[in-house]
Structure 1
Amino acid sequence: MTTMLLFSRTDRDTSGESAPTPLKRRGGLIAALDVGTTKVACLIARADDDGGVPRVLGIGHHRSRGVRGGRVANPDEVEAAIRNALESAEDMAGERVDGVVVAVTGGAPESERIDVEMDVSGHEVRDSDMRRVLSCVGQHPRDPDRELIHCIPVGYSLDGVDNVLDPRGMYGERLGARIHLVSAASGPLRNLTTVIERCRLDVDGRVAAPYAAGLASLVEDERDLGATVIDMGGGTTSVAVFLGGHVIHVGVIAVGGGHVTNDIAQGLSTPLASAERLKTMYGGVLASPADSREILRVPLVGEDEDQPSQEIPRSYLVQIIRPRVEETLELVRAHLEAAGVDRVAGRRAVLTGGASQMPGMRELAEQILDKQVRPGRPMRLRGLADSVAGPAFATCAGLVSHAVQDQVERPMLDEPPRAGGVFGPVNRIGRWLKENF
């Protein structure tokens, strides 16, 4: 059971609503959906009950339309893109899915860390105590216009002693937990959920996009010793900081690869499609002596195809791209410093996302961020084709890792009883008997 769903269930218990469905569906199927500004990707995998590495059964992706800065701007276009990606993945997998785990980039995700504590009266710490201490988060004041998407315990304490990994079975008077909360604006979340439900799908879970990218691309030592994941998408650049095996910070910056495309289109007076092609095929952020000798043909916006194209040296294209990328990385650095996590996670950074693949990005990021930088690629998946095994699909792969890992990390934290219903008292009595006898 995932930490995120644990909090959702606790929150819904208070309001009397029904609990969400589990992340893994029948037969161990997991469906992941990443709705980005430039592409929609859907991945279907099967996870074995023995906790082995999931196997990819099908993947589909389609050009994204109707998404601006991670937010739904045109529901009809977004629905069509999701349906196309979903159908491609289902056809390849030979399976039909009715629920997905979704990446969240819209709604300006923000992090908050809180400490909660409760009395356990000297008895052995049980599963029920773990649930109770996490349910204390529900009493924390929240912005009514924001919705919680993660409630992640990053450490426990017992009688003032910190760094307790798992207090179950231990004895003490006061049980505490340090909890990382991730929230996002309710409106963009609801808009995305509505569009997904129009595609005959349930939203089984929501995961902050950089968190998912980190789960897919970081090795265990990086998660433990500290690393910063920078997911450079088309409309946004999102950041996640890992330390001690947990994600401790998440943030989003409203600048992405699409802004580079717009700069090229405006600077060269060329259509957006041509600008994207130039960026993908010839773009870069570091100049070389050969750039001035390589001549590129650039069609002009509004001109007929039979009209002669303008010719520019590749060095001019680099001069357009580099300032925007420098600005993006400087905003990332400023964001990390403002959040107080720039030095906490050490000097290791991992780049993911389609916009991170431009030549020279790693070297420029090392200069600006003052960190050791490497490209991040999906790991912990079997059967992933080479064409979709690059940084652009790290988030989608991480959604699968999240579903599988969280099913294993806290297997003892069962679903809390629902507050309402005819059988509510019976369930509570049964749970009390199970926990105390």
Structure 2
Amino acid sequence: MLLFSRTDRDRPRESAPSPLRRRGGLICALDVGTTKVACFIARAGEEDRTLRVLGIGHHRSMGVRGGRVANLDEVEAAIRTAVDSAEEMAEERIDGVVVAVSGGAPESQRIDVEMMVAGHEIRDADVRRILACGRQQPSDPDRELLHCIPVGYTIDGTDGVLDPRGMYGERLGARMHLVSAAAGPLRNLSTVIERCHLDVDSRVAAPYAAGLASLVEDERELGATVIDMGGGTTSVGVFLGGHVIHVGVIPIGGGHITNDIAQGLSTPLANAERLKTMYGSTLASPADTRETLKVPLVGEDEEQPSLDIPRSYLVQIIRPRVEETLELVRAHLEAAGVDRVAGRRAVLTGGASQLPGVRELAEQILDKQVRPGRPLRLRGLAEGVAGPAFATCAGLLRHAVQDHVERPMLADPPRPGGLFGPVERIGRWLKENF
């Protein structure tokens, strides 16, 4: 069995053969959340793109607040522990990760781009050029672009074109979905990962990843809303026509429910989390008034008598916060104009979505058909990590093996000038156009 310690990770790495699928088809997904850090290592099939999970590691997250890095040392320690556990289980060494982004207030922007193609056959180079135009659109200098996703093409003003290559026309247009996030939180996240001596191969918006993992093909095509209820944030992703068309983040999560319980009952945070996990619910029942819970008080000795409360009182604390979260989700979708675009289907992921009664409450507030989401189409995934809490991490693996049309390669990497520089440029032009 291969073991990789902190010292092993400090050694120089060998160069990787590709940015997302490294040697032997290995992919590593890293989800740095407010309550946990999760790491999946998987191997992708060369032909059918099947994914088999080889290693799993997760650790309690420290130093993250609302999806943002708040303490570099604490986050670094949590990442190293989770990655080392996954490497030990997989008996593999990883050098780079695909990481989820929930901090930095991810935002969506939809733009239309058009360019002339002079009536010739549309080639790969034309598609790359129009995608490059979308990525070069002016934006806030304090934000960084995460995704540039083409959701449809037009030829001479006629829309509904899924793939324009091989077709003819005078004007090629593209409708694009741009996803950006604040630069500061992104750089902090990259910095702490680099301190673990890992490369950031790709950054993926958390709701986008959760949808890739938990939605079936028909839901992505016909329309569905993914609501990822994490510890510090609740992320929203809207899918339609096979693409994600909107993402957003609301700064409320399961940790706020824990804080409400701790403050309302004057109990330590650790005990509040235990009460939420074991007895929490958003639905009241007649038996709640008869069931009594023992609640230790903050600052009291263990020998002191604890407070006895009916379970119904715990439900009265939890339900308003969950209602507020779901009402903010509804308001966000309405403000973005996508509340009805993607139909009446919603999927709940994230650890906070596992509270009893959240599904029923979501159906009532959102006026949608709601189901719980969990990772799909992954082999070798242990039952303990196959629930909604790990959907985002699983979706990062799916993102790594899909066609990355949203990140086009504009050209070959620039090379030093010299005698053969112009010859190589002419050769590339001939190859693309003839």
Q: Give the equivalent residue in structure 2 for 1:417.
A: 412
Q: Give the equivalent residue in structure 2 for 1:254.
A: 251
1:428 is displaced (CA, Å) by 2.7
How far apart are the structure 2 equivalents of 1:53 and 1:261?
A: 38
User: Quick check: 1:24 aligned with 2:33?
Assistant: no
User: Quick check: 1:241 aligned with 2:241?
Assistant: no
| Residue among 94, 97, 101 paired with 1:97 | 94
Q: Give the equivalent residue in structure 2 for 1:55.
A: 52
Q: Give the equivalent residue in structure 1 for 2:11.
A: none
* AA in 2 matched with 1:374: R
How far apart are the structure 1 equivalents of 2:433 and 2:62?
A: 55
How far apart are the structure 1 equivalents of 2:58 and 2:137?
A: 39
1:432 is displaced (CA, Å) by 1.4
Q: TM-score, normalised by structure 2?
A: 0.94
Q: Give the equivalent residue in structure 1 for 2:167.
A: 170
Query: 1:228-257 CA distances to partner (integer Å, 9 max, x unpaired)?
Result: 000000000000000000000000000000
Contact conserved, 2:129 with 2:410, CA < 8 A, in 1? Answer: no
* AA in 1 matched with 2:25: G
List gaps (5 residues or longer) in structure 2: 1-16
> What percentage of aligned pairs have identical amino acids?
81
Segment drifting more, 326-335 vs 135-144: 135-144
Q: Give the equivalent residue in structure 1 for 2:392.
A: 395
| Residue among 370, 374, 381 paired with 1:373 | 370
* AA in 2 matched with 1:324: R
1:181 is displaced (CA, Å) by 0.2
How far apart are the structure 2 equivalents of 1:233 and 1:282?
A: 19
- What is the alpha-carbon root mean square deviation over aligned residues? 1.5
| Residue among 131, 135, 138 paired with 2:132 | 135
List gaps (5 residues or longer) in structure 1: 1-19
Q: Pairwise mapping of residues 39-188 of structure 1 onto structure 2 (< 5 A)?
A: 39-188=36-185
Instruction: Give the match's secondary structure for 1:327.
Output: helix
Q: Give the equivalent residue in structure 1 for 2:8.
A: none
Contact conserved, 2:36 with 2:58, CA < 8 A, in 1? Answer: yes
Contact conserved, 2:95 with 2:199, CA < 8 A, in 1? Answer: yes
How far apart are the structure 2 equivalents of 1:433 and 1:203?
A: 34
How far apart are the structure 2 equivalents of 1:425 and 1:212?
A: 42
Query: 1:293-334 CA distances to partner (integer Å, 9 max, x unpaired)?
Result: 111111101111121111111100000000000000000000
* AA in 1 matched with 2:263: Q
| Residue among 270, 290, 294 paired with 2:287 | 290
Instruction: Give the match's secondary structure for 2:402.
Output: helix
Segment drifting more, 49-58 vs 168-177: 49-58
User: Quick check: 1:433 aligned with 2:430?
Assistant: yes
* AA in 2 matched with 1:399: L
Q: Give the equivalent residue in structure 2 for 1:11.
A: none
Query: 1:185-204 CA distances to partner (integer Å, 9 max, x unpaired)?
Result: 00000000000000010000
Runs (4+) off by over 6 Å: none
Q: Give the equivalent residue in structure 2 for 1:3.
A: none
Contact conserved, 1:292 with 1:315, CA < 8 A, in 2? Answer: yes
Query: 1:154-189 CA distances to partner (integer Å, 9 max, x unpaired)?
Result: 000001110100010000000000000000000000
User: Quick check: 1:363 aligned with 2:360?
Assistant: yes
Instruction: Give the match's secondary structure for 1:50.
Output: coil
1:380 is displaced (CA, Å) by 1.2
1:410 is displaced (CA, Å) by 8.9
How far apart are the structure 2 equivalents of 1:182 and 1:410?
A: 10
Equivalent residue pairs, number: 416
* AA in 1 matched with 2:65: R
Contact conserved, 1:239 with 1:252, CA < 8 A, in 2? Answer: yes
* AA in 2 matched with 1:28: G
Instruction: Give the match's secondary structure for 2:416.
Output: coil
Q: Give the equivalent residue in structure 1 for 2:6.
A: none
Q: Give the equivalent residue in structure 1 for 2:225.
A: 228
Q: Give the equivalent residue in structure 1 for 2:270.
A: 273
Contact conserved, 1:378 with 1:390, CA < 8 A, in 2? Answer: yes
How far apart are the structure 1 equivalents of 2:406 and 2:165?
A: 11
Instruction: Give the match's secondary structure for 2:31.
Output: strand
Q: TM-score, normalised by structure 1?
A: 0.93
Query: 1:69-90 CA distances to partner (integer Å, 9 max, x unpaired)?
Result: 0000000000000000000000
User: Quick check: 1:317 aligned with 2:295?
Assistant: no
1:426 is displaced (CA, Å) by 4.7
User: Quick check: 1:197 aligned with 2:194?
Assistant: yes
* AA in 2 matched with 1:237: T
Instruction: Give the match's secondary structure for 1:406.
Output: coil
Query: 1:55-108 CA distances to partner (integer Å, 9 max, x unpaired)?
Result: 000010000000000000000000000000000000000001000000000100
Instruction: Give the match's secondary structure for 2:403.
Output: helix
Contact conserved, 2:150 with 2:406, CA < 8 A, in 1? Answer: no
Instruction: Give the match's secondary structure for 2:333.
Output: helix
* AA in 2 matched with 1:206: R
1:141 is displaced (CA, Å) by 1.2
Q: Give the equivalent residue in structure 2 for 1:386.
A: 383
| Residue among 325, 333, 338 paired with 1:336 | 333
Q: Give the equivalent residue in structure 2 for 1:299.
A: 296
Contact conserved, 1:239 with 1:250, CA < 8 A, in 2? Answer: yes
In structure 2, relative to structure 1, the CA distance for the partners of 1:253 and 1:288 (3 Å cut) is same
